[in-house]
Structures are given as structure tokens and as C-alpha cells.
Amino acid sequence: METKDTIYELRTKKGLSQEELAEKVFVTRQAVSRWETGETIPNIDTLKLLSKLFDVSINTLLGSPRELVCRCCGMPIEDCDISRETDGYFNEEYCQWCYADGEYTLDIWRRYAEIGGKEKLEEIKCQLIDELNTLLHIEGLPKVEKLNVLPGEFVNLEYTLPNGEKVKFLDDKQTYLGSQLESDFGVCIGIVANMDFLLICSYEENGETPELVIYKKR
């Protein structure tokens, strides 16, 4: 959708007149009218205000000229996945799992420069993969070959302890390195790791009836 149509649609959906929108973003009613006829587009400061007001990215306001991809994990990002700065504005460079409240959330990203950048990160991944394969030396199970960056809320499974108590070990707001292996014996093996621990679990399709296999501090 073009900018003019996007603005019109967002404005009317919010039940605002051109006048009311103009007031909220400190421009004249004529300016709003010119955006909606396609004569002009808002300047960058106004786009920021509109983005916050309508809760959509600047990319969306501009008619989605680029596909947003998180610079940390490489995941394509929709407006609902975009990270925010502490002042509430979108940060369209990162997804909400890799960056939140003005900080990188994944331990590895936070220590990215400290650990030596991309090359060193690959080394860390290889090291984790080796450790995992040593732990997971089980017949009928393929080897771990790569680790992906995964949002905590996707991998934070709830385990039921023998006494019936339910527990979670991860943080929904953090990101982790992980992978899934399909075994010959009907269950999936899930792996989650970061600099501090390795977690191996098994579960049925769709993450049902998860069981913790190994939780190991590094």
C-alpha cells in the first residue's frame, strides 16, 4: 500500500479527523491532506511521531519498501515483532527478542564485541555443538549440526516434575541458541543453549508432553 493510503486508513481506523491528526503530530490540516492525496510524504520526524501514534513501523508507513530483517538473528520481522527503544519508539533494525529496553537481550549479542565479533561467535557455536554431540551420543539420534537463534517464548517449555509441580527454566524475553532433532524413536529432541548452560529435552509433536533430559551448567 502507498503512503497516502496507509495514512488515510490508519487515521480513519483510529477515528481521527485530518484536523485531529494534524494536531497530534504538530502539522497543519493541509499537510495531512497533502499526504493523503499523495502530494507529499511526512518528513522523518513526523514519520516517527506517526509510527508511535499508530503503532506501526515507519517501513509500513512508507508502503513497506524494504523487508525488515533482524540484524541479530536474521529473522524477517513484522510490525508486531519489532523491538522498541525505552521511549517507546520502534527500533526497526532488531526483533523484540534480540533487543529490548535499549539493550541486546541475548547474552551472546550483549557480549558480541567482547567475545570477538562474528568469527568468534561461530567458534562458540561450534564449541556448543561439540559439547551437545558429546552429551547426546545416543543411537537413533542425528548429530547436532547447527544452532539457530530462538526467542525464549518459543522454547520455554513447561515441564511437569514427578510431584506434579510445573516448572519453566528459561526466560521468555531472552534469546537462545537452539535446534530440534527428530529421533528414530518417535519423539523430538529439543536443544537450547547459551554461554552458561545446555538444556536437552524431549517432546512429542508441537512441543507436547515435554520432558527434561539434561540441564547442564557450562
Binding residues vs Zn ion (CB under 5 A): 70, 72-73, 95, 98
| Least distance between Zn ion and beta carbon 95 (Å) | 3
Measuring CA to CA, which residue among 198, 74, 197 is closest to residue 144? 198
Residues 6+ apart with CB under 8 A from 94: 70, 71, 72, 77, 82, 83, 104
Give me the least distance between CB of 9 and Zn ion, in Å please: 28
Nearer to Zn ion (CB atom), residue 78 or residue 158? 78
Residue 39 or residue 85: which is nearer to Zn ion going by CB? Answer: 85
Among 176, 198, 174, 179, smallest CA distance to 104 is for 174
The distance of closest approach from Cβ of residue 68 to Zn ion in the complex, given in angstroms and rounded to an integer, is 11
Looking at the Cβ atoms of 6 and 96, the one nearer to Zn ion is: 96
Q: Measured from the CB atom, is 72 or 191 closer to Zn ion?
A: 72
Nearest approach in angstroms of CB 115 to Zn ion is 18
Nearer to Zn ion, 149 or 157 (CB): 149
CB of 36 to Zn ion, least distance (A): 34
Place of cell 506517526: 50
Shortest distance (Å) from residue 55 CB to Zn ion: 20
Handedness of CA 144, 147, 148, 153 (dihedral sign): positive
Which of 150, 139, 136 shows the shortest CA–CA distance to 214? Answer: 136
Nearest residue (CB) to Zn ion, 27 versus 72:
72
Give the CA distances from residue 165 to residues 162, 202, 209, 215, in Å, rounded to whole numbers and listed in that order.
7, 18, 14, 17
Q: Using alpha carbons, list the distances in angstroms from residue 218 to 25, 130, 174, 199.
A: 51, 13, 18, 10
Taking every pair of Cα atoms in the chain, the longest distance, rounded to a whole number of angstroms, is 71
